[in-house]
Amino acid sequence: MRILYHLPLCPFSRKIRLIMAEKRLSFELMTEAVWKKRDEFLSMNPAGTVPVLVEETGLAICDSYAISEYLEEAYPDTLLMGRTLAERVEVRRLVAWFDDKFNREITRNLLFEKMFKRLFGNSNPNAQALREGYQNIKFHLDYIAYLAENRVWLAGNNLSIADFAAAAHLSSLDYIGDINWDKYPMVKDWYVRIKSRPSFRALLNDRVSGVVPPKYYADLDF
């Protein structure tokens, strides 16, 4: 059986889970406590990060960028990156937007500070980081609203990994109650469409001990 090493609230792992579910690829989820730096895990992925996908052949694929490109090449029946060069350019621009810029400006400042920092042996959340995260999220939600208002899906007419990258970050932040949906109805409309997909169900069932998500977290009609 295919194995995906992940962490429940890791947006990069969530993006890969969504892509694999959309491509109807079965896999077993293994939670990897990356802060423990397990030797067997580091020998597969020297960077020590999740997600890592291990195929039944034994091929280990590290890093969410490499995994998403691999899945698109190895399992092309359901294409999630667009077909023309121009479509693929836009999908990848937005994936970089969410996994690089959004991650650096928001996810690291909020999710990492609140949920993961202590596990890595660091101190309490940094107040300056939290302030920056809450400031930046407004700009980013405005940008997603702009895309959602002008396009069927974030990158254009077709559902793509740009939607999954965005939804992965937002869903993890939603678990800790950091998304004010009522202020962004266009973002909420788009998110409801993604959240209602069968591929999303497993993410909504994730629970992390000690942290209870808001009531609407797993609600499809919130």
User: Percentages helix, strand, coil for the chain, rounded to the nearest 5?
Assistant: 60, 10, 30
Of the pair 89, 119, the CB lying nearest a second copy is at: 89
For residue 61, the minimal CB distance to a second copy (Å) is 5
At 53, is the secondary structure helix, strand, or coil? Answer: strand
Of the pair 63, 132, the CB lying nearest a second copy is at: 63
For residue 30, the minimal CB distance to a second copy (Å) is 19
33 forms part of the interface with a second copy (CB under 8 A): no
46 forms part of the interface with a second copy (CB under 8 A): yes
Choose, by CB under 8 A, the member of 30, 33, 42, 47 that binds a second copy. 47
Q: x-or-dash pattern for a second copy, window 48-87, by CB under 8 A?
A: -----------x-xxx-xx--xx--xx----------xx-
Which ranges in 9-103 belong to alpha helices (H)?
Answer: 11-22, 39-44, 64-74, 85-96
Is 36 in contact with 44 (CB distance < 8 Å)? no
- Using CB under 8 A as the binding criterion, the count of chain residues that bind a second copy stands at 25
Of the pair 49, 172, the CB lying nearest a second copy is at: 49
Instruction: List residues bridging with 6 in a β-sheet.
Output: 31
Choose, by CB under 8 A, the member of 92, 114, 188, 195 that binds a second copy. 92
5 forms part of the interface with a second copy (CB under 8 A): no
The rounded distance, in Å, linking the Cα atoms of 174 and 168 is 10
For residue 72, the minimal CB distance to a second copy (Å) is 10
- The 3-6 sheet, strands edge to edge: 28-31, 3-6, 52-54, 60-62
Is 165 in contact with 89 (CB distance < 8 Å)? no
The rounded distance, in Å, linking the Cα atoms of 24 and 18 is 10
The rounded distance, in Å, linking the Cα atoms of 22 and 57 is 22
Of the pair 175, 184, the CB lying nearest a second copy is at: 184
Residues at the contact surface with a second copy, assessed by CB under 8 A: 45-47, 59, 61-63, 65-66, 69-70, 73-74, 85-86, 88-89, 92-93, 95-97, 100-101, 143
